[in-house]
Structure 1
Amino acid sequence: MRHLDTCIVIAYLNGNQAVAEKLKSHLPDVAISSLVLGELLYGARASARSTENLRNLNAFAQLVDIIDFNQASADSYSRIRLSLRRKGRPSGETDMLIAAIAVADNAIFVTDNTKHFQHIENLRLENWLRE
């Protein structure tokens, strides 16, 4: 299973062919977290082309699984947050929550921000924009 970060979904929605090909090759084993969906919905609603962007986002959401934050995610989050604090490497709350969902699901996390997430233990990373 692969979980996509917000930036990867945005690249797909903006017509990035490399991301579209990777997505197609990994379906149906692709998901986004409900938190990523929330970020995407916010961005679509805040945009000048909100109707079009919401339509495109809803079509994309039909292609992938949506994974909710659950008890296993909460356990992963607590471990990630503590580990990063001990390393002196704070991270944004939402990013830690998104990473926790991927770790709990034993998924590969696909992001363009690999440097931002590289210090999170047990989080396997891929970057479909830089391959």
Structure 2
Amino acid sequence: MREAQPRFEDDPEQLECGELCVVEVFGKDLGPEPSAEVGVGIKAFRDPALRQDFDAPRVPIDVADPHTYAVDWDAAEAVLTVDGEVVRRCPGPPTYPMQVMVAVFDFPEWSTGDDDHLVPALTVEWIRE
């Protein structure tokens, strides 16, 4: 692997803008029993060297409880886990430096009309490199 140089899509010619999505959960994808579709995988965005490889398998967890979402990767494969259990393996992940992004989004168009009391929240206890 080449030497890592910090870059944040500051050169549009580089096209190194892929993502390793470690966890993506939408409120609409929660199950009736404690479960959720947990989105994980590679998002290629504008990087022609990557193959889009993203899915949201249903995992038997209550996302309101603390969980450990992780990715372990090298040039060959990204292994994505929830609480130590493998939920997805993706070959050919990005090998360039990436940044960690943590965000909460609200999608008002998904409202059912009786959910004004619901407020998106995210609690992060730790992030480890």
TM-score strictly above 0.5: no
Tell me which interval the TM-score lies in, with the shorter structure as reference length: under 0.3
| TM-score with structure 2 setting the length | 0.24
* Higher RCO (C-alpha 8 Å, min separation 6): 1
* Structure whose residues are more often helix by fraction: 1
Larger radius of gyration: 2
